[in-house]
Structure 1
């Protein structure tokens, strides 16, 4: 809709205004969240980077998601999203300073189910300070639509928490 602010630009602007930095951990979105953020001029001031942990083993080895959790619940679980969002802040620290905000995506984009979870089952993790949460999404559409909607919802989730704080 014309006149509607670009959410990624709004987020980059808010982070810049507040002097906050963000780090991203992605699975089903495969780097689309960090790509959406870094398309905005000036993003380098606030975006530490992103980790694409597409393989479950990378969620454990790089992001430090608990091996027991992954073995018991699989990679598509709210606690996995929380741990990804929380841990990526330290993994992508700049000059020894962890990112202020971590955002993560994990889920099933489709077309088929994964570990008994249907396509469209998605969790977005958001970590700001001591607050770490997961937002459950039940999305419809094809693989591309699910991935794009996950990106939109992840950015909106961070914006809404910043607006509330």
Structure 2
């Protein structure tokens, strides 16, 4: 998937319009994207009406401190896992009060990959109320490409959720 900055901005604008129709807000919990999802959202004028909070928790310690991710998950399943992104999404949702939340943790590269979790492995989790929708992706390309695809996929998933669709692809 190749997406431009303009494409990401368009997704964020469409998300904002839908959230305003619903009178709903979104929060983000980010690791490998380093705040890129929140940055894309705040490109949109008036996003303060529908963007609640963005948590950038790059280290495991901050995932625990800011979002309440249980410490024991990291040695058990690793930071790039279904369990951790679900906990990140729940933590951001609980702390912000936003209806919708998206969380991301991944290996953008060029280092850090393993045979089990190669570079480009990204877990996303979208939440709406009690429902949580995690999904693992394997994005191709360099660090910038992996991060850009993660941001676009995150925004697309929240938009899908906000229009009543399942955000999980495939």
Q: Which residue of 1 aligns with 2:108?
A: 109
Matches of 1:60 and 1:128, distance apart in 2: 21
* Helix, strand or coil at the partner of 2:53: strand
Structure 2: tracts of 5 or more residues without a match: 166-170
Distance 1:55 1:114 in 2: 16
State the partner residue of 1:141. Answer: 141
Taking the aligned partners of 1:87 and 1:35, their CA distance within structure 2 comes to: 20
Aligned to 1:164: 164
**TM-score calculated relative to the size of structure 2:** 0.87
Matches within 5 A, 1:122-141: 122-141=122-141
Which residue matches 2:152? 152
Aligned-pair Cα RMSD in Å? 1.7
Q: Distance in 1 between matches of 2:164 and 2:113?
A: 34
Runs of 4 or more above 6 Å deviation: none
1:73 matched to which residue of 2? 77
The answer on whether the counterparts of 1:30 and 1:54 sit within 8 Å (CA) in structure 2 is yes
Question: What's the counterpart of residue 95 of structure 1?
Answer: none
In the alignment, is the contact (CA less than 8 A) between 2:18 and 2:163 conserved in 1? no
TM-score by length of 1: 0.90
- Secondary structure of the 1:117 match is coil
User: Partner of 2:126: helix, strand, or coil?
Assistant: strand
| Deviations, residues 114-155 of structure 1 (Å, cap 9, x unaligned) | 465211000111110110121111110000000000000000
How far apart, CA to CA, are the structure 1 residues paired with 2:164 and 2:20? 17
Where structure 1 has 5 or more consecutive residues not aligned to the other structure, the ranges are: 93-97
